[in-house]
Amino acid sequence: MSERAPIELTLVRHGESTYNVTGTWQGHGDAPLSELGKQQAARVGERLRGERFDKVVSSDLARAHQTALAAGHPVDVRKEWREIDVGRWEGLTRAEVAERYPDEVRAAMHGDHVKIGGAESWADLSARVEAAMLTLLREVHPGARVAVFAHGGVIASLVSGVLGLREHRPRPIGRISNTAISRLHVFLDDAQQAVTHARLLAFNDASHAFSVPAWASEMQRAGHTLTTLVSDGAELPVPTWAGTEGDVTPVGVVSGASDAARGLADALRVPFEPFTAVSPEQLWALPAAPTGRRLVVLPPADIAQLVGERMRHAADGPASVGAPTAGSVTNVVVTPKGHTFADYASVRAGD
């Protein structure tokens, strides 16, 4: 059976909602964007406004729809792209849920197919959004570009599913940030009955809103090492991730011996320690700076290979990874359990 040209699928999480601020569970509830969320929506909207999309859809919940409208494209609102239905957990804080429903929380944390708050399980959500995705992809021509504005659980489930990562614990990809952009090339069979495989182009790119993904900053503050892979190129200007947000200022660079890498180290006023080749095992074992962060400048193909090997090791399907853009950033959280990609190929708009 021959294969059609891939469809580029762009997935965008909504801006921060009022429930995000208070740490309150939200599923089908319709919490609006917070003031910060409105600002985040404006930033991602500005970033996406000049892009061509053949179709743009969003969840019918206000936090996703308002974020979609900020990009300036006509939006098709669809209920099937809603967040997971959390039933009786809706509107409760995480502490309240843990106190009232400890057995459900334990089962959900262990990956059991429990219905959250008596409503949907993660398996139910996966089936719903994969059906929604297939419906959407059948509506457009081969080679089309489509965008979906949705929710963290929806996007994590969909990306994990098409890359064959859903059942792996711990997952090799981290939590989705507000207004983060993820992109995939999705391949359908000629009969358009199924997705044959997908190629990851970018994951959790919220560089328009955060210098480092929020989850990665949390993990670093908890004592884990953050490795930032910078895709080598002709020129590496001092990037936005060199700021102080979350106390993640880099104080050391380990890199290949390119002139661009040396120039970046000089611009950041940090040590330059060149190497010409390194295995994945050596890379993750490199010492971190006192802040718990290390920078590694590598050719784009080498970063794609590192990420691809990690994905394929975890996947039960034919996942593949596209090479990152020169100058883009990939943040990796390293823990005793392994390494998790907080984002992949993050590029600030205009860089």
Angle at 150 between CA 145 and CA 154, to 5 degrees: 105
Determine whether 14 is an active site residue.
yes
Tell me the residue ranges of DSSP E strands in the chain.
7-13, 55-59, 76-78, 145-150, 181-188, 195-205, 225-231, 253-255, 272-274, 293-298, 320-321, 329-335, 338-341
Residues in the chain, overall count: 351
- From CA 244, how far away is CA 2, in angstroms rounded? 50
Determine whether 73 is an active site residue.
no
Determine which one of 16, 73, 83, 151 is catalytic.
Answer: 83
> Which two structure tokens, joined as six digits, stand for 66?
């308002």
Determine which one of 14, 73, 208, 339 is catalytic.
Answer: 14
Q: Is residue 3 within 8 Å of 190, Cβ to Cβ?
A: yes
Burial (CB count <10 Å: 0-12, 13-18, 19+), residue 232: buried
- From CA 46, how far away is CA 300, in angstroms rounded? 27
What SS3 state is found at 268?
Answer: helix
Candidates 332, 343, 122, 327; CA nearest to 232 is 327
Q: Is residue 272 within 8 Å of 261, Cβ to Cβ?
A: yes
- From CA 121, how far away is CA 126, in angstroms rounded? 9
Active centre residues (catalytic) = 14, 83
